[in-house]
Structure 1
Amino acid sequence: MLNASATPGTGSSLMGEYAALVADAVLRQRAREAEHSARVEAELASKVKSEFISNMSHELRTPLNTVIGFAKLISECERRRLSGGQIVEYAGLIHDAATHLLAVINDILDISKMQSGKYTLDAREVQLPEILQSSLAAFGQNATDLGVSIESRFDPDVPAVRGDPGKLRQVFNSLISNSVKFTPPGGSVHVGASALPDGGAIVRIRDTGVGMTKEEIAVALTPFAQVDAGHSRWREGAGLGLPIAKALVQLHGGKLEIRSAKSLGTEVAVTLPSRFKVSILQGRDVVLGSGGHRDVSDGHHATRD
């Protein structure tokens, strides 16, 4: 007669071996997933790098070719018998190309600082109406030349906010410039500011321009991405203006939101808290908008609340 009783400890030994096998399988699966994730991330980084190099090559070479070409013409003015008016015209084109080139380089430097986590804010009390008036004055003549009217209305109770005046001006310059640029002759741009119940402020920039779909908004807020040719003006330059504007607003503890409809225009709403703990989003987060952040470690250029 066979004895069916198990040897003491055999059951627990088998269970232990089974648990070890399961744990090993889980670890192997996790390792495969981590390897796949790393490979996908590396491929994405390579693609972004390739697109960046291609885009930057165009954005840097085009104005440089303009500068070189017209500078050569001016240097040969006697042989070519250029008139004074032609020389002035060519000098103006050189100036415009160089200004565009400088703007592209500044955008690249801004993104580089954000990606390295070294972007700081010089926070102080800011009166938003003053910043907005400055931005409106900068683009008033351009709007007039394009046949676009600009209207503004600032509520008297708009509170002061804490922020970096230069960076906030950069945000509103970019947004107002886009609105003017994409509004056809006879259209209008309205800029308003009002108080929020929590003590913060909201700035709305609304235009009667070409408008965008939700998909085009997402593309417009993605660094280096390109929209279709019909709306390429949203991506003039290095394609960094709107992403940088959104990142700067986030660094101020605020939000930048875009509402738009094709052929009906666009409204950009920027909300800013009255006070915030100055922080720097991690490079990948601040550029791509995933929302992570860390505190500023150097208090010399950033005030904490």
Structure 2
Amino acid sequence: MIFGSVGNAKSNSLMNEYASLLSDAVLRHRARVAEQSARIEVELAGKVKSEFIANMSHELRTPLNTVIGFSKLLTQHSQRRLADKEIVEYATLIQDAAGHLLSVINDILDISKIQSGKYTLDAREVNIGEILAGSISSFRTMASEAQIDLRFGIAPDLRPIRGDPEKLRQIFTNIISNALKFTPANGTVDVTARRTTSGGAVVTIRDSGVGMTEEEIEIALTPFGQVDGGRSRWREGAGLGLPIAKALVELHGGTLELHSNKGTGTEVVIGLPARDSVSAVASEKLISNGA
């Protein structure tokens, strides 16, 4: 009996020692994994920061150089007489570049406010059909010059919804602009709007453009992410259009879904709730204009 007790004691001691060693090994492994994960996150953060600085340097510097260069030519008008046609051309280029520069700065400010939780909407009863039709009309010339067939179908039974008209216009403008930008000549962009059974609205913007993979969709929805990393054209933007549109849709209590296939085009589906069924969370974010 005594020998049996001693044997059991030694066995228990060995088991405890083994359990302790195993526990230490697991803890060391977890520490290594955590350290490796932290290192990867730091490296990714550094990469994102570098890409952001590179993109922003390009997005801000290029239009600014255009403004400086052509304005300098205009100031030399007394030394080298410019034709009226040249003056108008230079002034147009300056205005276009300045407008783009202002757009980039506004986008940066918008995404900064959204991420800090300080972004508010001026909510009121709005006609979603009229806002969408106005947004489409503003792209008629752009679509014609790009040889893209911009088509739309807005259901006549759309009901008014509660939202910020300027921000809703910004949502549609950002997405339609992207659709036209990435659709080649002789392609199509279709914009439709229909009423849901609950009285809300579903807006679908579908293009026959280059399309995206699942990984590229994730990049496109990330602030400052650019599917096409090339910076040969400053009109390609800062990569904020879709993230801002998605954030603004969600502030309205709605949803934004993006479906795409490489080479066959992209579809963006925006769901906006009925005027009287906005979620409690969205209601707190919508700042009413005295209503």
Provide the TM-score with structure 2 as the length reference: 0.81
Task: In structure 1, give the amino acid aligned to 2:5.
Answer: S
Name the CA distance, whole Å, in 2 between partners of 1:230 and 1:245.
23
Secondary structure (helix, strand or coil) at the match of 1:5 reads: helix
* Aligned counterparts of 2:116 and 2:159: Cα–Cα separation in 1: 33
Corresponding residue for residue 191 of structure 1: 191
Question: What is the count of residue pairs matched by the alignment?
Answer: 287
The Cα of 1:12 is off from its aligned counterpart by 8.4
Alignment of 1:250-265 (within 5 A): 250-265=250-265
Per the alignment, residue 149 of structure 1 pairs with 149
CA distance in 1, matches of 2:100, 2:233: 14
2:179 aligned residue: 179
Residues 1:213 and 1:3: Cα distance change in structure 2 (over 3 Å): closer
Structure 1 residue aligned with 2:129: 129
RMSD over aligned CA atoms reads 3.6
Q: State which of 272, 279, 284 in structure 2 corresponds to 1:277.
A: 279
Partner letter of residue 136 of structure 1? I
Task: Check the 8 A contact 1:182/1:233 in 2, yes or no.
Answer: no
Task: Give me the whole-angstrom Cα distance separating, in 1, the residues matched to 2:220 and 2:232.
Answer: 10
Q: Deviations over 1:83-125 (max 9, x none)?
A: 2221221111111111111111111112222332322233333
Instruction: State the distance in 1 between where 2:163 and 2:273 align.
Output: 9
What is the aligned partner in structure 2 of residue 202 from structure 1?
202
Matches within 5 A, 1:27-106: 27-106=27-106
C-alpha displacement at 1:267, in angstroms? 2.4
The offset of 1:201, in angstroms, is 1.8
Are the counterparts in 2 of residues 220 and 235 from structure 1 also a CA contact under 8 Å? no
How much identity, in percent, do the aligned residues show? 60
**Cα offset for 1:185?**
4.3
Deviation for aligned residue 1:264: 4.0
Aligned to 1:290: none
1:178–1:234 Cα contact (<8 Å) kept:
no
Change (3 A) 1:261 1:61: same
Name the residue aligned to 1:167: 167
C-alpha distance in 2 between matches for 1:264 and 1:230:
21
Deviation at 1:147, TM superposition (A): 3.4
Q: Which residue of the partner structure matches residue 287 of structure 2?
A: 301
The 8 Å contact of residues 63 and 234 in structure 2, kept in 1 or not, is answered as no
How far did residue 146 of structure 1 move? 3.3
1:221 aligns with 2:221: yes
Give 1:4-23 correspondences, 5 Å limit.
4-6=4-6
For 2:48 and 2:143, locate their aligned partners in 1 and report how far apart those are by CA, in whole Å: 35
Q: Structure 1 regions of 5+ residues with no counterpart?
A: 281-294
Q: What residue ranges of structure 2 are gaps of 5+ in the alignment? A: none
Q: Secondary structure at the match of 2:189?
A: strand
CA contact (8 A) 1:221 1:242 kept: yes
